[in-house]
Amino acid sequence: MSGTNHAENDDWTGQVPTVVLVEPQMGENIGAAARAMWNFGLDRMRIVNPRDGWPNPKAQAMSSGAGRVMDAVTVVDTTAEAVADLNYVFATTARSRDLAKEIMTPERAMEHARALIGQGQKVGIMFGPERAGLENEDIAHANALISVPVNPAFASLNLAQCVLLLAYEWRRQTGEVPAQVMELAGTDFATGLEVQKLGERMEEALDARGFFWPEDKAESMVLTLRNMMTRLDLTQADVRVFHGIMKALEKPRAK
Amino acid sequence: MSGTNHAENDDWTGQVPTVVLVEPQMGENIGAAARAMWNFGLDRMRIVNPRDGWPNPKAQAMSSGAGRVMDAVTVVDTTAEAVADLNYVFATTARSRDLAKEIMTPERAMEHARALIGQGQKVGIMFGPERAGLENEDIAHANALISVPVNPAFASLNLAQCVLLLAYEWRRQTGEVPAQVMELAGTDFATGLEVQKLGERMEEALDARGFFWPEDKAESMVLTLRNMMTRLDLTQADVRVFHGIMKALEKPRAK
C-alpha cells in the first residue's frame, strides 16, 4: 500500500481516543505505534515512564511522517497520572487476569468509545510494555479490557500491530467510508438503452448464425443473454468495447 | 500483547483465503506477512517471482513461529499462474486506477470472501511489491479491489500491516468471538437475593444514620440505591467486599 495525500484533512482532528503506552521499552516501537495511530487518524499519545527516557531519538527516527503525533506526546511518571483526566479507559491484554472486568473485542470497544466520545467523555486505550503486557496495577485503572481475537495457537502481536488494529477499528467505527463502490475510471455506467441496444445487436448477430437452437429453447436463451448483459453492470466504455468485438466478429467470413 | 497457547487448534485449518504476494522485495517482509497471517489463522501463501529468489533465509528468520505458513509456500513465475485455480481474487491497492472495478473495504471484502468460500469457491487476496504496489497488469486478474480506509493525510501501511488488517478482518468475519464478555476471575455473578440482602443491609445502616432525609424524598432515594446496586453487575466476591466495608463502617464510632 502506498500513496499519501499531503493536503491537511481537518476532519481527522476531532475528538479521538488517547493512546497510553505504559512503560514502553524500545524507542522504535514508540515510533511505529505513532505511525500506526496516524495511519488511522489518532494523534494523542501519552507515555508512562518510558524505559529509555524522553525525547528518544530512535522513536523520532521511526515515527517518520507521524511528527504530528510525536510533537504532542505527553510523558508522565505513573499510569494514575496518565488516566487522571480520562472518563473511560480500555486496557489491551491477551491474557486472562485475576480481576473481574468486562472483556471486549476491538470492534465492540471502539463502538463503545464512539458512543462515549459522542457524549463528551474522554476515552483512553492503554497498551503495556512489549514483553510483559500490562500489570494488574495498571489494569485496575481500566474500565474494561480489550482482547484481540488472535489465533490461539499463535498470539504474537507486537505493540505497534496492536495499536494499528485498535486505530483501524476506531476509524472503521467512525469513518463514513462506503463498504463497496465502483471505481468508474473516467467512464459512467451504461444506460439501460445502451445495454439494450448492445443486447439486440448481439441477438441479431447470433440469430443470423443459428445460435438460438432448438427453436423451443430460443426464447429462454434470449432471456438468459439479456439477463447476463444487465447483471454485468457494464460501463459506457465496456459497451463500446463489446460493439468493437461484435463489429470484428460480424465481418463476413470466407466460406 | 503476548501469550501463546501452543496447543494445536484444528478449527483454524478450514477453508481460508490464499494470500498472494506479487514480486515482494525484502525477505523480512515476506516473513512478517507470514506471521501476520498466522496470527489470524491464514496459512496459505503464494509468492509471485520474489526478487531475491526462494527459499529466502531472511524470510525464514523473520517468520519465527509461523513455520506452518512458510512450509506451505508456493512460488510461481507469474500472477496468472498464482491465480489460475482461484475463483475470486481481491487486489489490495491504495491508489485509484484506470481500470473499472469494484472497490471494497476490508470488512466488506472479507464478508464477501466468507460467502464465496461458503459456496465452495477458492478465494485469493493479492498484495503488490512494497514500493510500487500492484501494476494494472496484476489488477486485471482481480475481480475486485480492496482499499483500506487510511488517513488521507498519511497512508503509509507496509506490506505486513496490510496483510495483518485483511487477516484480522477475515477472522472477524468468520470467528465466533462474543463482542463482550465479563471476565469473572474465578467468581460468579451475585444472585438477586445476595444483592438484595446487601442492599437491605446498606439501607438499614444508612437509615440509622439519618441518610434518607427529607422524609418525602426517602422512598425515591431508596429506589435510586437499589437500582444502582443491580446496575453494578456485582460478583459474589464484590458482595463480600461490600459486606466487609459495611461491617467496618457500622462499628460504633466514639462520639
- The pLDDT of residue B1 is 37
A147 and A84, same structural domain?
yes
> Does residue A246 sit in the same domain as residue A154?
no
A225 touches chain B (CB under 8 A): no
Successive 10-residue mean pLDDT values, chain A, 255 residues: 39 76 97 97 96 96 95 95 90 74 91 89 93 86 90 90 97 83 78 88 88 87 83 85 83 56
In a domain, B228, yes or no: yes
- The Cα A43–Cα B140 span in angstroms is 37
Which of residues B110, B139, B172 is at a domain's end? B172
Q: What is the pLDDT of residue A147?
A: 92
Confidence category of residue B95, pLDDT binned at 50, 70, 90: low
pLDDT in tens, B157-212: 999 999 999 999 999 998 877 778 877 777 788 888 888 899 999 899 888 888 88
- Angle at which helix A159-174 crosses helix B159-174, to 10 degrees, equals 60
Rg of chain B over CA atoms, in angstroms?
Answer: 29
What are A109-125's pLDDT values in tens digits?
999 999 988 888 889 99
Contact A151 B38 (CB under 8 A): yes
Predicted local distance difference test score (pLDDT) of residue B19: 98
- How many contacts does A have with B, using Cβ atoms within 8 A? 218
CB B79 within 8 A of CB B121: no
Same domain, B28 and B142: yes
In a domain, B27, yes or no: yes
Higher pLDDT: B154 or A232? It is B154
A152: containing domain? 12-172
Residue B93, chain A, CB below 8 Å: the answer is yes
Residue A21 within a domain: yes
The structural domain count of chain A equals: 2
- pLDDT for residue B178: 77
Domain co-membership, A147 together with A55: yes
Same-domain check for residues A162 and A222: no
Does residue B186 fall inside a structural domain? Answer: no
Q: What is the pLDDT of residues B2-26, one digit of tens each?
A: 344 433 444 444 589 999 999 999 9
Residue B96 has what pLDDT? Answer: 58
CB burial of B162-176 (b: ≥16 within 10 Å; e: otherwise) equals: bbbbbbbbbbbbbbe
Cell of B166: 485483511
Cα angle B65, A64, B2; round to 5: 25
Considering CB atoms only, which of A4, A65, A149 is closest to B171? A149
What ipTM score was computed for the predicted complex, to two decimals? 0.79
Is the same domain home to B122 and B46?
Answer: yes
Write down the pTM of the prediction: 0.81
Secondary structure of chain B in HEC code, one letter for each residue: CCCCCCCCCHHHHCCCCEEEEECCCCHHHHHHHHHHHHHCCCCCEEEECCCCCCCCHHHHHHCCCCHHHHHCCEEECCHHHHHCCCCEEEEECCCCCCCCEEEECHHHHHHHHHHHHHCCCCEEEEECCCCCCCCHHHHCCCCEEECCCCCCCCCCCCHHHHHHHHHHHHHHHHCCCCCEEEECCCCCECCHHHHHHHHHHHHHHHHHCCCCCCHHHHHHHHHHHHHHHHHCCCEHHHHHHHHHHHHHHHCCCCC
**Which of B2, B25, B35, B148 is the best residue to mutate to test the A interface, defined by the most A CB atoms within 10 Å of its own CB?**
B2
Q: Does B193 touch chain A (CB under 8 A)?
A: no
pLDDT for the residue numbered B14: 55
Please check whether residue A82 lies inside any domain of the structure. yes
**How close A36 gets to chain B, by Cα (Å)?**
8
Calpha distance A249→A233 (Å, rounded): 23
- At residue B161, the pLDDT reads 96
Do A111 and A162 share a domain, yes or no? Answer: yes
Answer yes or no: do B219 and B145 share one domain. no
Residues B165 and B244 placed together within one structural domain of the fold: no
Q: Is residue A5 part of a domain?
A: no
Segment A211-234, tens digit of pLDDT:
888 889 888 888 888 887 887 888
B107 shares a domain with B64: yes
Residues A145 and A218 both lie in one domain: no
Q: Where among A172, A206, A229 does a domain terminate?
A: A172
Angle, helices B159-174/B106-118, rounded to nearest 10 degrees: 50
For residues B65 and B32, give the distance between their C-alpha atoms in angstroms, rounded to a whole number.
Answer: 11
Neighbours of A213 (CB within 10 A): 10
CB spacing of B238 vs A153 below 8 angstroms: no
Whichever domain contains B141, its CATH number is 3.40.1280.10
Q: Do the domain assignments include residue B70?
A: yes
Q: Note whether residue A6 is domain-resident.
A: no
Residues B25 and B146 in one domain: yes
pLDDT of residue B77: 97
Residues of A in contact with B157 (CB under 8 A): 1, 39
